[in-house]
């Protein structure tokens, strides 16, 4: 058998496709027939130094894949499968793996270390394999270098896999001691030192306690800083990555070291190779992130209390930090603006400069202005580009007061540079900078407008002209126009400064979308997106022109549907274009449908539009499907009950969308559209409800569907119930138990994780919206008593939410509303139940005195409804 | 290991219009869901099932005595349509005679206090009733209309009530409206609000008086309706101080200084809902100290030497009060009815002659009536039994303020005694 496995593993990597396929098949069969024996063979193969390295590597890889997967539900299955294996088998596999760490073959040892970490990731949280860390560290000082290296790598992977709270502090201490000693300059072996430095990167999250101990922290920091000076590039890079991680995890502990770190990073930025210099800049970007967060928290909380105080490291380092960053801007690469994935010193430096500006605000302006003034007119394009980039980078953060006068002077210069500068990079950055000016300094909230009646025409003329430039420049010009339009989104509904240019702008954007090279630099996408924003911000005056756009976009969409035979690459582009066109129609529908005056004219093309959307669905592309679905939602809202005539044809695509587990965005959007249709059709949706409810219930019970779709599905129950009223009766027996178990799960968060709390709150909101819709749907029906049995649980749910004290405002508002809905619909029957509940007293009173207008409104309503229910 | 990944897009415009479209769609859906929810909560809950459906149809405001219209079907059918599950929102939009007819039946009419009700000091509120015109004030569609007891319009004006004026500052949704029970006090041109019936489209009919007064007190001033008149607010609204009907409260209402002329005291049972028509759960009482008009006056403002009553003619010739069920005061001779051309439902005026009212075991038996004539058309209701009796006792042996005071203090004692008995038992 063992021989056979080796051959299978080698064949599975054969060049010959048939041999390979056959071997893969055999391996699969082996695994299915006898999993324990399969895993044992693999671990034996991996551990055996007599076997070829290729079969050993693949054996390890298959083992690893048998323990973990990306998909959440698959991951869980594999985890369960491992845990339920016979413990003798598991013990034998683990022994093989630990033994492999000592192998002189680096690939085998390295593969084993990853597999060990995966098993640790499963077992340590279940309090299994307690001897692992001890076994790894028992004789770390006596073993040969390659074993030491493999052990450190294992520790690194282990720290990446398991969460700090499942490892005891004394074991953490042992891990950190081993790792930091491995990093020390006294360690002669470079590979060991690198492995240790990389391991520390993952182990930093375990070092909370150690970082509060001055001596231990000093020691770790000293070793990390020394490692940044190592002669080995990879060690220096890894050490800076550790510093970056420390800057965000232990920001509040950095004060004693910040001066030294500045010196180290400054030297690296100036002299070191790019991978190291990038990390050195990243350190400061990361400090900016921290301070921006802290200062934001200060601003939101008047008491000035924050968990972490701000040390103003950036403000203090400003006079030296800014020149350092400005210097990097001159190190551009020749074609960085055409290369999507480009990331270099100049880009990192500019990004960091932007973050510094957001951190310190006004203080940065006088430090950057001399650099701009000195370089902006230089003959070398690098200097002009760097100056422009510096200017664009500092536009967010400083106050408009500080910037307006500078921008007013610069604006003309920028406009002329965009037209006349001979260099593509300079024009690219100039157009981007104009976009930033409009994004941050233009809009109705600005005291002194940057764009006036006098210069508006010139600005637009320049941008439209620039849209004929190279694709990268034209794309930035579209972006600038996007923000220019956005600044006018709240102008008086009758008139906008853009009105005189509206026709030209729309025409120019349409021309861009038809450029031969519009596929480059995402130019076509940018043009359509800008067109969307221009439409969104349009006013009544320009409504006829928006109306004229409808047949144009419909024609474009029609053309994409005329079936020439396409390569898969062409088809992908075609689908992308369909998505953009449906997106554009969606924006137009929403714009024209929102006013009675325009709605009437627009209604005449609804039939045609609908048939186009149905054809888009038939193309089966996820992006286009999603966009068409959103457009239909907007359409249903605009047409109201008349939408009924499309339902029969549309229904199958609706169902298809609800079945789309893989592209969960499509599913989520479709769920939202069901809500739109419910509100449009009201009880006319009834004939489709059996099908819709069946799908929604299936979605909820699927563990394949992304969890973010579940809260909107609950809300959708409410939409349906509100639309069909007491006809919801037949779904109660399915929907209510699901709501109830979801409610029980979501009543307690028991987690400090913000993301989980946020999800739990959205789930609660969905559940509560479902209850609300169901109660309101049944109101004044003779069948209200059907809901009575659910009332105790729902009140309990409200009480427990109140006790948890971690509802956000939206949930609070919905929850107190449900209390009212329950009282409103069940009336005096529920009176005694309501009076017993805590929600009707303390919770309600708290909401009545809430500062949040919406909470207060819901609470007042609930109070009225309750008073009627109990005063009979 | 590549934390700078999130920084890459810095120089690319930070637009994801697709994400923006999604967010806008979600926002619109959330907004629409909220609107639908809001509408469901308010609209449906303001459908009223009016209580007095078995009331005799009330005569049209303009009955033409000469012609012979179908006496029953016309008005009755109409009034049935109007009263069954009628939507207050639609009512707030009614115009002309339909509106008059509807509103003439929406006021809660207190009975006159002939006996002191039990538990007066526990279950009742007391307030000093302002002298003036009792009316319903409805604000909706950017205007405010007040209607008298017979349904006719008193004022049409802008007010600071929700949706009561066409101002730019619209607080709340456009279909919002409210209905207040008021007394218009001529002297200071002020509407004194004595009860709240609907507030911001939410019906308070089914709420206890305790709750309605709480809501009235906390909500009215929020709107600015109590502010002095201004271009968008023609008349000031004002609250009437309401007291628990204990000794202090009763004393405050009876003797306390108020900015208006008092016309008796109003008593509200705390647990009673707003009930249209006559109700014993709201009572009115007065004497010379707290009212200028204890005894009814005639059209010349004189107190007639004999008590006059207005009664309604029934099909069997009986003349009755406006109560439900009606109380029979006497019977007209068939010949007399024919001769005078009197029709069913006509309101007739009588005097109570020297024979007075006769009671057996505290129960009214009959009255010594003398016919005077038909009543002015503007009048829509016959007198209630309690009113007749209050006027009668006021002329013979009135219920005095001392009786009230004694009852609120002795009621207290009684309470204690009861407790004692229970303890002993």
pLDDT in tens, A340-355: 778 889 999 999 999 9
Most confident of A378-387, A486-495, B330-339, B399-408: A378-387
pTM for this prediction: 0.74
Residues B25, A528: C-beta atoms closer than 8 Å? no
The answer to whether residue B68 sits within a structural domain is: no
Residues B256 and B321 in one domain: no
What is the mean predicted confidence (pLDDT) over A507-526? Answer: 94
pLDDT of A38 above 90 = yes
**Which pLDDT does position B65 carry in this prediction?**
37
Q: Choose the final residue of a domain: B233, B253, B285.
A: B285
Residues A722, B40: C-beta atoms closer than 8 Å? yes
Q: Is A752 helix (H, G, I), strand (E, B) or coil?
A: coil
Residues A634, B25: C-beta atoms closer than 8 Å? yes
Residues B44, A343: C-beta atoms closer than 8 Å? no
The residue segments making up the domain with residue B242 are 17-48+95-285
Distance between terminal CA atoms of chain B?
A: 84
Residues B108 and B203 in one domain: yes
pLDDT of B55 above 60 = no
Q: What is the mean pLDDT of chain B?
A: 78
The answer to whether residue B275 sits within a structural domain is: yes
**Which pLDDT does position A100 carry in this prediction?**
95
In tens, the pLDDT along A757-805 reads 888 999 999 999 999 999 999 988 889 999 999 999 999 999 999 998 8
**Which pLDDT does position A622 carry in this prediction?**
82
CATH code of residue B386: 2.40.50
The contacts of residue B68 (CB under 8 Å, 6+ apart) are none
Q: Choose the final residue of a domain: B253, B285, B317.
A: B285
Residues B11, A821: C-beta atoms closer than 8 Å? no
In tens, the pLDDT along A456-484 reads 999 999 999 999 999 999 999 999 999 99
Most confident of A460-469, A593-602, B121-130, B245-254: A460-469
Residues B127 and B209 in one domain: yes
pLDDT of B204 above 90 = no
**Which pLDDT does position B85 carry in this prediction?**
39
Residues B313 and B223 in one domain: no
Q: At what angle do helices B17-43 and A809-826 cross, to 10 degrees?
A: 30
Q: Give residues 722 to 741 of A whose Cβ lies within 8 Å of B.
A: 722
Structure tokens at B168: 């730019």
Residues B213 and B357 in one domain: no
Residues A867, B208: C-beta atoms closer than 8 Å? yes
**Which pLDDT does position A88 carry in this prediction?**
95
**Which pLDDT does position B45 carry in this prediction?**
41
Residues B334 and B379 in one domain: yes
In tens, the pLDDT along B255-313 reads 999 999 999 999 999 988 888 888 889 999 999 888 888 888 877 778 888 899 999 98
Which of A681, A753, A763, A662 has the alpha carbon at shortest distance from A723?
A: A681
Shortest CA gap A20–chain B (Å) = 34
pLDDT band, residue A568 (cuts 50/70/90): confident
Residues B318 and B263 in one domain: no
The answer to whether residue B293 sits within a structural domain is: no
**Which pLDDT does position A752 carry in this prediction?**
66
The answer to whether residue B318 sits within a structural domain is: yes
CB contacts, 8 Å: A427 with chain B: none
What is the mean predicted confidence (pLDDT) over B125-130? Answer: 95
pLDDT of B333 above 90 = no
Residues A776, B37: C-beta atoms closer than 8 Å? yes
- Residue B130, classified by CB atoms within 10 Å of its CB into exposed (0-12), middle (13-18) or buried (19+), is buried
pLDDT band, residue B70 (cuts 50/70/90): very low
User: Is the pLDDT higher at A298 or at A549?
Assistant: A549
Q: Could you give the CA distance from residue A200 to residue A183 in angstroms, rounded to a whole number?
A: 9
Q: What is the mean pLDDT of chain A?
A: 92
pLDDT band, residue B92 (cuts 50/70/90): low
**Which pLDDT does position B2 carry in this prediction?**
44
pLDDT band, residue A178 (cuts 50/70/90): very high
The answer to whether residue B296 sits within a structural domain is: no
Residues B201 and B312 in one domain: no
Distance between terminal CA atoms of chain A?
A: 82
**Which pLDDT does position B53 carry in this prediction?**
32
**Which pLDDT does position B184 carry in this prediction?**
95
Q: Could you give the CA distance from residue B159 to residue B166 in angstroms, rounded to a whole number?
A: 9
User: Is the pLDDT higher at A387 or at B354?
Assistant: A387
User: Is the pLDDT higher at A161 or at B276?
Assistant: A161
**Which pLDDT does position B95 carry in this prediction?**
64
**Which pLDDT does position B44 carry in this prediction?**
40
For an interface test with A, give the residue of B9, B10, B205, B281 to mutate (most A CBs within 10 A).
Answer: B10
Cβ B190 vs Cβ B235: under 8 Å:
yes
pLDDT band, residue A361 (cuts 50/70/90): very high
In tens, the pLDDT along A667-712 reads 999 999 999 999 999 899 999 999 999 999 999 988 888 889 999 9
This model of the complex carries an ipTM of: 0.76
Residues B344 and B222 in one domain: no
Q: Give residues 760 to 819 of A whose Cβ lies within 8 Å of B.
A: 769, 772-773, 776-777, 779-780, 817
For an interface test with B, give the residue of A864, A869, A872 to mutate (most B CBs within 10 A).
Answer: A864
**Which pLDDT does position B175 carry in this prediction?**
62
Q: In the Cβ-directed half-sphere of B56, how many Cα atoms lie within 13 Å?
A: 21
What is the mean predicted confidence (pLDDT) over A256-279? Answer: 95
Instruction: Give the count of Cβ contacts less than 8 A between chain A and B.
Output: 128
A711 touching B (Cβ < 8 Å): no
Percent of chain A with pLDDT over 70: 98
A630 touching B (Cβ < 8 Å): yes
Q: Is B262 helix (H, G, I), strand (E, B) or coil?
A: strand
CATH code of residue B179: 3.30.470.30
A849 touching B (Cβ < 8 Å): no
Q: DSSP code of B316?
A: T
| A432: nearest CB among B11, B202, B207 | B11
The answer to whether residue B213 sits within a structural domain is: yes
3-state secondary structure A287-353: HHHHHHHHHHHHHHCCCCCCCCCCCCHHHHHHHHHHHHHHHHCCCCCCCCCCCCCCCCHHHHHHHHH
Residues B121 and B220 in one domain: yes
Which of B129, B33, B413, B142 has the alpha carbon at shortest distance from A714?
A: B33
Residues B33, A861: C-beta atoms closer than 8 Å? no
Q: Could you give the CA distance from residue A251 to residue B182 in angstroms, rounded to a whole number?
A: 66
The answer to whether residue B76 sits within a structural domain is: no
User: Is the pLDDT higher at A45 or at B323?
Assistant: A45
Beta bridge partners of B190: B185, B236
Residues B346 and B250 in one domain: no
**Which pLDDT does position B174 carry in this prediction?**
56
Q: For chain B, which residues lie within 8 Å of any Cβ of chain A, measuring from their own Cβ? A: 1, 3-4, 7-8, 10-11, 13, 15, 17-18, 21-22, 24-26, 28-29, 32-33, 36-37, 40-41, 44-45, 47, 202, 204, 206-208, 210-211, 215, 271, 273
The answer to whether residue B5 sits within a structural domain is: no
- Domain count of chain B? 2
> Residue B333's CB: how many other CB atoms inside 10 A?
9
Cβ B250 vs Cβ B408: under 8 Å:
yes
Structure tokens at A326: 């400005």
> Residue written as tokens 């406009």?
A415
Residues B204 and B279 in one domain: yes
**Which pLDDT does position A594 carry in this prediction?**
82
- Residue B390, classified by CB atoms within 10 Å of its CB into exposed (0-12), middle (13-18) or buried (19+), is buried
Residues A526, B15: C-beta atoms closer than 8 Å? yes
Percent of chain A with pLDDT over 90: 77
Cβ B160 vs Cβ B171: under 8 Å:
no
A431 touching B (Cβ < 8 Å): no
**Which pLDDT does position A336 carry in this prediction?**
78
> Residue written as tokens 């992977």?
A157
What is the mean predicted confidence (pLDDT) over A399-419? Answer: 94
**Which pLDDT does position A91 carry in this prediction?**
95
**Which pLDDT does position B94 carry in this prediction?**
62
**Which pLDDT does position A687 carry in this prediction?**
95
What's the gap between Cα A246 and its chain centre? Answer: 23
What is the mean predicted confidence (pLDDT) over A306-312? Answer: 82
């Amino acid at each position: 058998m063992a021989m056979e496995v080796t051959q299978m593993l080698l064949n599975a990597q054969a060049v010959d496709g048939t041999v390979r396929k056959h071997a893969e098949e055999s391996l699969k069969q082996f695994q299915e027939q006898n999993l324990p024996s399969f895993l044992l063979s693999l671990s034996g193969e991996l551990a055996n130094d007599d076997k070829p390295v290729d079969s050993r590597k693949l054996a390890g890889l298959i083992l690893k894949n048998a323990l973990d997967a990306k998909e959440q539900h698959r991951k869980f299955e594999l985890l369960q499968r491992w845990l339920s294996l016979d413990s003798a088998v598991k013990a034998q596999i683990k022994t093989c793996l630990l033994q492999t760490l000592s192998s002189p073959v680096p690939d085998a040892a390295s593969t084993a270390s990853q597999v060990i970490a995966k098993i640790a990731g499963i077992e340590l949280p279940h309090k299994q394999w307690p001897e692992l860390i001890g076994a790894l560290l028992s004789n770390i000082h006596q073993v040969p270098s390659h074993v030491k290296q493999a052990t450190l790598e294992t520790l690194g992977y282990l720290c990446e896999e398991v969460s700090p709270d499942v490892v005891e502090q004394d074991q953490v201490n042992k891990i950190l001691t081993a790792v930091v000693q491995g990093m020390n300059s006294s360690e002669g072996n470079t590979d060991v030192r690198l492995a240790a430095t990389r391991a520390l990167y993952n182990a930093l999250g375990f070092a909370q306690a150690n970082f509060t101990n001055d001596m231990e922290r000093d020691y770790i920091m000293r070793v990390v800083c020394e490692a940044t000076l190592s002669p080995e590039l990879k060690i220096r890079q890894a050490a800076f990555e550790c510093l970056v991680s420390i800057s965000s995890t232990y920001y509040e502990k950095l004060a004693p070291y910040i001066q030294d770190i500045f010196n180290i990073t400054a030297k690296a930025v100036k002299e070191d190779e790019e991978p190291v210099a990038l990390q050195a800049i990243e350190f400061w970007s990361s400090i900016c992130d921290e301070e921006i967060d802290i200062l934001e928290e200060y601003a939101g909380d008047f008491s000035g209390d924050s968990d972490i105080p701000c040390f103003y490291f950036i403000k203090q380092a400003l006079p030296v930090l800014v020149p350092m960053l400005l210097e990097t801007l001159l190190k551009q690469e020749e074609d960085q603006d055409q290369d999507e994935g480009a990331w270099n010193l100049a880009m990192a430096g500019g990004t960091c400069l932007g973050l510094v500006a957001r951190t310190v605000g006004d203080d940065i302006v006088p430090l950057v202005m001399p650099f701009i003034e000195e370089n902006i007119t230089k003959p070398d394009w690098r200097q002009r580009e760097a100056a422009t980039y510096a200017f664009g980078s500092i536009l967010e953060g400083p106050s408009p007061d500080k910037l307006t006068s500078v921008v007013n002077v610069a604006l003309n210069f920028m406009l002329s540079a965009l037209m006349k500068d001979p260099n593509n990079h300079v024009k690219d950055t100039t157009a981007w900078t104009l976009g930033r000016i409009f994004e941050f300094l233009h809009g109705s909230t600005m005291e002194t407008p940057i764009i006036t009646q006098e210069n508006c025409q010139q600005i637009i003329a320049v941008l439209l002209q620039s849209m004929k430039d190279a694709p990268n420049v034209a794309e930035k010009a579209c972006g600038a126009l996007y923000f220019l339009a956005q600044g006018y989104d709240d102008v008086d509904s009758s008139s906008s400064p853009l009105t005189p240019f509206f026709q030209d702008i729309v025409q120019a954007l349409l021309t861009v979308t038809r450029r031969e090279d519009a596929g480059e630099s995402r130019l076509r996408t940018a043009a359509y997106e800008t067109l969307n924003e221009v439409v969104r911000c349009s006013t009544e005056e320009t409504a006829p022109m928006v109306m004229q756009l409808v047949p144009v976009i419909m024609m474009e969409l029609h053309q994409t549907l005329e079936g020439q035979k396409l390569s898969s690459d062409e088809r992908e582009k075609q689908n992308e274009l369909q998505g953009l066109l449906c997106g554009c129609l969606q924006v137009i529908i929403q714009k024209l449908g929102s006013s009675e005056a325009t709605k009437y004219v627009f209604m005449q093309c609804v039939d045609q539009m609908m048939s186009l959307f149905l054809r888009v669905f038939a193309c089966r592309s996820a992006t286009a499907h999603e966009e068409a679905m959103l457009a239909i939602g907007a359409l249903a809202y605009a047409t109201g009950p008349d939408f009924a005539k499309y339902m029969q044809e549309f229904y199958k695509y609706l169902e298809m969308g609800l079945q789309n587990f893989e592209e969960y965005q499509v599913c989520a959007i479709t769920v939202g559209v069901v809500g739109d249709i419910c509100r449009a059709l009201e009880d006319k949706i009834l004939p489709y409800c059996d099908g819709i409810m069946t799908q929604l219930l299936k979605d909820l019970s699927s563990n394949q569907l992304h969890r973010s779709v579940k809260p909107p599905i609950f809300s959708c129950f409410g939409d349906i119930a509100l639309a069909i009223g007491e006809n919801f009766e037949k779904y109660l027996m399915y929907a209510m138990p699901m709501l109830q178990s979801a409610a029980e799960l979501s009543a307690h968060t028991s987690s400090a994780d913000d993301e989980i709390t946020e999800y739990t709150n959205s789930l609660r909101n969905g559940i509560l919206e479902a209850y609300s819709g169901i109660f309101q749907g049944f109101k004044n029906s003779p069948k209200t008593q059907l809901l009575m049995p659910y009332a105790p649980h729902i009140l309990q749910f409200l009480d427990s939410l109140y006790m948890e004290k971690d509802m956000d405002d939206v949930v609070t508002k919905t929850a107190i509303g449900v209390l009212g809905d329950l009282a409103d619909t069940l009336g005096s029957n529920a009176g005694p139940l309501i009076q017993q509940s805590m929600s009707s007293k303390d919770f309600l009173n708290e909401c009545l005195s809430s500062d949040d207008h919406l909470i207060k409104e819901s609470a007042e309503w609930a109070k009225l409804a309750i008073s009627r229910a109990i005063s009979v | 290991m590549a934390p700078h990944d999130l920084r890459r897009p810095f120089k690319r415009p930070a637009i994801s219009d697709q994400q923006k479209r999604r967010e806008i769609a979600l926002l619109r859906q959330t907004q629409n869901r909220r609107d639908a929810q809001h509408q469901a909560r308010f609209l449906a809950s303001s459908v009223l099932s009016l209580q007095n459906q078995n009331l005799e149809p009330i005569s049209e405001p303009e009955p033409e005595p000469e012609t012979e219209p179908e006496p029953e079907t016309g008005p009755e059918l109409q009034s049935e349509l109007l009263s069954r599950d009628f939507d207050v929102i639609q009512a707030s939009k009614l115009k002309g005679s339909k509106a008059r007819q509807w509103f003439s039946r929406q006021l809660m009419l207190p009975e006159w206090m002939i006996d002191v009700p039990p538990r007066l000091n526990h279950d009742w509120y007391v307030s000093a009733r302002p002298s003036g015109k009792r009316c319903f004030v409805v604000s909706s569609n950017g205007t405010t209309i007040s209607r008298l007891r017979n349904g006719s319009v008193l004022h049409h004006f802008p007010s600071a009530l929700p949706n009561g004026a066409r101002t730019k500052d619209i607080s709340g949704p456009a279909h919002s409206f409210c209905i207040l029970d008021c007394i218009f006090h001529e002297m200071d041109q002020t509407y004194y609000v004595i009860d709240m019936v609907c507030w911001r489209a939410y019906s308070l009919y089914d709420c206890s008086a305790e709750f309605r007064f709480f809501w009235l007190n906390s909500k009215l001033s929020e709107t600015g309706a109590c502010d002095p008149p201004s271009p968008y607010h023609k008349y000031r609204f004002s609250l009437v101080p309401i007291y628990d009907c204990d000794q202090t409260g009763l004393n405050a209402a009876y003797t306390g200084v108020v900015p208006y002329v008092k016309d008796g005291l109003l008593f509200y049972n705390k647990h009673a809902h707003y009930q249209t028509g006559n109700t014993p759960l709201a009572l009115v009482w007065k004497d010379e100290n707290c009212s200028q008009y204890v005894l009814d006056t005639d059209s010349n403002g004189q107190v007639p030497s004999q008590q006059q009553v207005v009664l309604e003619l029934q099909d069997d010739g009986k003349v009755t009060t406006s109560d439900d069920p009606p109380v029979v005061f006497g019977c007209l001779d068939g010949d007399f009815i024919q001769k005078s051309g009197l029709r069913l439902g006509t309101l007739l005026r009588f005097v109570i002659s020297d024979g007075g009212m006769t009671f057996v075991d505290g129960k009214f038996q009959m009255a010594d009536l003398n016919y005077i004539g038909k009543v002015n058309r503007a009048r829509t209701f016959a007198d209630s039994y309690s009113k007749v009796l209050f006027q009668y006792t006021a002329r013979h042996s009135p219920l005095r303020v001392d009786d009230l005071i004694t009852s609120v203090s002795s009621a207290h004692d009684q309470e204690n005694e009861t407790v004692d008995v229970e303890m002993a038992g």
